[in-house]
Each structure stands twice: as C-alpha cells, then as structure tokens.
C-alpha cells in the first residue's frame, strides 16, 4: 500500500470518515495480527494485541508524523505492544516459570505438518529483540531500512541482530533435524 | 570458520539486499568455499521455512470489534481560511475569523451575461478579497468531467477586472481532492464562495499555497473561485490546470485541450 494512499486515508480518518478507517483496517489488520501472533505465540493474545494496536494508533492519530510511512508507525506500535504484552504476562506468572514462553522443544515436533509449529516454537525461544527483527524481515517482508525505521535502531544493528537470530534459529532447528538431510 | 564479511554477504543475499557487485563476489566465494556454500544453502532452507509458514487469518469478529471501539473525530465542515487568504487577508475578515465565523462571512453580487438563476452566486456564502462584484466581459470556456469518481463541469467566466471559475461537480458520495493550479495561467486567487443550498455539501478542507488551491470534498460541489488577472495576460484560462485525486491517486488531469 502506497504511503500517499495511506496519507489520504489518514486525512479522511482525521475528519471523521469511518469508511477510510475501515479501508485502513482492511489493509493492516491481518499483517498486524500475524506479526503479533509470531511474537506473542498464540491467537488469543495476538487478537488482544491487534485490538490495542489499532485503538492506540487511532487514539493518537495526531501524533502520527506524515513524513514517515504509516505502516512503519503501525508496525512499531504492534511490535512494542506485543513485547509489552509478553512482559506483562511474564510479570503475572509465578516465580520460577517466568523464562518459559513455550515449553515445547523442537523434539516435540515430528511430522512435516508440524514444521510451522516447530518454527514458531524456535522463534519463541529467541529473546524479544531478535524475534522482532525476524518477524519484520521474514513475516512482514520489511527491508533493513524499513526495520530500522520501525524499531528506531541503526541498519547495522538490524543486520547484526538478524544474523545472530538466524544463527540461533539454525542451531535450534539443527538439533531437531539431527540425522536428517536438512540442516 | 567463515569470515564476517562472507557471513554478511550471504545474509544480505538471502534478504535480497545485495547489489550486482556483491552478487558477483558471493558467486565466486561460493564456488571456491564449500563451507560458505553449505552456510548459504542452510540459510536458503531456513528462509524457505519462513516463506512456507502459513499466513493466519485474523478472527472474523476482530475487525468489527476494533471498529466498534475506535472513536473518530466528529465530521465537520472546515475552511482553512487563514491559509487560503495568505498575506492578503483583510482586517475585517481576520476579525470575523477571530470571532469564529468560519463560513458565512459575506454575500456576493454578480452581474453576468448568463441569467442569475444559472450562476446563483447571490445565494452563495464565503469570503472575498476585493470589491465583491463580478461583471462578465468575455467568452466563457468550459471543462466537462465524466469520471467514475466525479462528473460535472467547470466554467471560466472572463470579467472586467478578473475571472470567475465556477465548479458544479458531483463526486457521488466519494471523497475527492480537487487541485487547481493557476500559476501557469498567471492568475491570482482573490476570493471564494460556496453555494449554500441544501443540495451542496460543505467543503471540508480548502488550502491555498502560491498559485495552487486544494480542496477536499465529498458529494456535490458548487462553488466559485474569483481570480485576478496578472497585467499583460490575454487568454490565460486554458492554462488553468485541474487535477482530481481519490485516495491519494490522481484520477484526472486537465490539459489546454480539455477546455472548450
């Protein structure tokens, strides 16, 4: 979606046009939901996060700076809100369980049909800042520059986090595929 | 152990961020280094796993729930008159705006070769810099629009001391942005009036920047723009450029030949 089109829709939203809001939501609801799901790890929480993301975005539409792409802004809110959600949940868990995000290891996934679940499980074992760059690069298909804009970190940091995250993912998957031709 | 530079090249290749020179360099490295080739293959496989991961559908009720919870500002008509008037804002108009009078600032008197019922500007409201009178004094030219987003006509009347551009358009409920460029035509904006009838919708935003006027509106549009001729201009009307955009995309752009 072009930034010009987004900007026109935002201008209409600012004037109270709900059709413009529906159009923007139609374009970004699924990508935001998917990004949130990949970070928080379950559908229910991803839906909660998505709702909060859009509420915050439209509540603070006056803070949106049109010099930047709308999708960068909404993704930034989505990533931050997803990480906040995880941290809130961690704080609510009893001591001793706080480090466990998903207690299934790669060895729990055996069939080809479980490949996606296994990938998700490995992803959830990464620390949040690594997880965020992987999600933005591989699921949201953002470029280094876009990730840099979204996370407000230098491109150099994007690359180093991404390379490290991939290496960790590769190692986790290798453990699972020990003895097979993959990895 | 692979050099950091090779690791970076391979990762950049996976991310589609490698230029032509980088690709050539990587190709040569992959041919000569089995270790680099294995690393490259592993990252391609990892990338494929991500690419094949399903895109999830959000819960069906989510969009409705989000829409229901978001409050947008209440729609209102809005004139950006300070910007519109720019440096030529008269003191009386300034006071009127300061008092919060945004629309009904003044009425216009017009005299033209067409009947009053045709132009009907007496019923219009708006503001005008100048004496508030318009006397037609020449051939009118017209531009017809028949687009999916908008239809109607734009007529330019030549006057004794200036021109008047009349818009009678219908955007069929769509929000459209109308951009009018007077700069090439050597004209200056001296006033604006909008039809106050029940059939017309109020313009939501109106901005003037240099020789360019931008309006955003939804529904029927019936308004006139008063123009002052620059000294020495003979027939500038056809050089007025009118562009129509919807959702940020330009759907129409007039040319000299569009005017009849």
Q: Give the pLDDT confidence of B203-217 residue by residue, as tens digits.
A: 666 676 667 777 777
**CA distances to A122, A156, A171, A181 from A176, in Å:** 10, 31, 9, 11
Among B50, B63, B72, the residue with its CB nearest the CB of A138 is B50
Which H helix or E strand runs over B95?
Answer: helix B91-98
Q: Which fold has domain A102-183?
A: Arc Repressor Mutant, subunit A (1.10.10)
Hey, are the CB atoms on A17 and B78 less than 8 Å from each other? no
Hey, are the CB atoms on B247 and A7 less than 8 Å from each other? no
**pLDDT tens profile A36-59:** 999 999 999 999 999 999 999 998
Hey, are the CB atoms on A47 and B74 less than 8 Å from each other? no
Q: State CA A50 to chain mean position distance.
A: 10
**pLDDT tens profile B140-153:** 888 888 887 788 88
Rounded percentage of chain B residues whose pLDDT exceeds 70: 64
Among A37, A116, A137, the residue with its CB nearest the CB of B15 is A137
| Start-end of CATH 1.10.10.10 domains in chain A | 102-183
CA-based angle B21:B22:B24, to the nearest 5?
65
In this prediction, residues B186-192 reach a mean pLDDT of 74
Is it the case that residue B164 has pLDDT exceeding 70? yes
Chain pair A-B, CB pairs under 8 angstroms: 127
B11-50 as b/e: b if 16+ CB within 10 A: bbbbbeebeeeeeeebeebbeeeeebeebbebbeebbebb
In this prediction, residues B188-212 reach a mean pLDDT of 64
In this prediction, residues B89-108 reach a mean pLDDT of 31
CA-based angle A16:A18:A24, to the nearest 5?
110
- Which CATH number describes the domain made up of B81-258? 2.60.40
- Say yes or no: A117 contacts chain B, CB-CB below 8 A: no
**pLDDT tens profile A29-39:** 999 999 999 99
ipTM over 0.90: no
Better-predicted residue by pLDDT, A169 or B208: A169
Hey, are the CB atoms on A30 and B57 less than 8 Å from each other? yes
**What gap in Å lies between CA B153 and CA A125, rounded to an integer?**
63
| Start-end of CATH 1.10.1740.10 domains in chain A | 1-100
In this prediction, residues B57-79 reach a mean pLDDT of 76
Domain A1-100: which CATH number of 1.10.1740.10, 3.10.20.440, 1.10.8.60, 3.40.50.300: 1.10.1740.10
pLDDT classification of B96: cutoffs 50, 70, 90: very low
Domain boundaries, chain B: 1-71, 81-258
**What gap in Å lies between CA A168 and CA B135, rounded to an integer?**
79
- State the pLDDT at residue B206: 67
- Tokens standing for residue B25: 């360099």
Nearest-Cα distance to chain B for A181, in Å, is 11
């Amino acid at each position: 979606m072009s930034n010009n089109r987004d900007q026109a829709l935002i201008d209409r939203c600012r004037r109270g046009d709900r059709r413009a809001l529906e159009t923007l939501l139609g374009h970004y609801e699924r990508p935001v939901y998917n990004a949130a799901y990949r970070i928080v790890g379950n559908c229910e929480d991803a839906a909660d996060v998505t709702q909060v993301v859009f509420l915050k975005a439209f509540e603070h539409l006056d803070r949106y700076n049109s010099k930047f792409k709308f999708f960068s802004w909404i993704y930034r809110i989505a990533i931050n809100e997803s990480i906040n959600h995880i941290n809130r949940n961690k704080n609510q868990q009893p001591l001793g369980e706080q480090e466990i995000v998903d207690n299934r290891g790669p060895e729990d996934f055996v069939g080809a049909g479980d490949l996606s679940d296994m990938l998700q499980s490995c992803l959830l074992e990464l620390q949040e800042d690594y997880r965020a760059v992987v999600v933005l690069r591989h699921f949201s298909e953002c470029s280094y520059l876009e990730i840099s804009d979204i996370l407000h970190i230098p491109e150099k940091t994007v690359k180093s986090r991404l390379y490290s995250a991939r290496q960790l993912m590769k190692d986790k998957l290798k453990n699972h595929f020990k003895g097979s031709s993959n990895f | 152990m692979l050099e950091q530079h090779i690791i970076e090249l391979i990762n950049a290749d996976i991310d589609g961020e490698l230029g032509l020179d980088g690709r050539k360099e990587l190709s040569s490295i992959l041919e000569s280094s089995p270790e680099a080739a294995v690393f490259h293959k592993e990252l391609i496989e990892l990338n494929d796993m991500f690419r094949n991961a399903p895109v999830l559908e959000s819960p069906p009720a989510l969009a409705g729930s989000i829409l229901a919870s978001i409050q947008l500002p209440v729609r209102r008509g809005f004139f950006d008159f300070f910007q519109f008037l720019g440096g030529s804002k008269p003191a009386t108009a300034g006071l009127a705006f300061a008092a919060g009078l945004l629309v009904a600032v003044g009425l216009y008197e017009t005299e033209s070769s067409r009947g009053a019922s045709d132009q009907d500007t007496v019923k219009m409201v708006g503001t005008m810099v100048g004496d508030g009178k318009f006397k037609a004094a020449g051939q009118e030219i017209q531009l017809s629009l028949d687009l999916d987003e908008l239809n109607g006509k734009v007529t330019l009347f030549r006057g004794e001391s200036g021109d008047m551009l009349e818009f009678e358009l219908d955007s069929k409920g769509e929000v459209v942005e109308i951009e009018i460029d007077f700069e090439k035509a050597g004209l200056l904006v001296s006033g604006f009036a909008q039809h106050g009838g029940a059939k017309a919708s109020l313009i939501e935003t109106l901005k003037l920047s240099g020789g360019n006027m931008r309006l955003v509106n939804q529904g029927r549009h019936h308004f006139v723009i008063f123009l002052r001729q620059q000294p020495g201009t003979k027939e500038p009307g056809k050089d007025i450029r009118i562009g129509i955009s919807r959702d940020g995309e330009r759907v129409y752009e007039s040319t000299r030949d569009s005017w009849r």
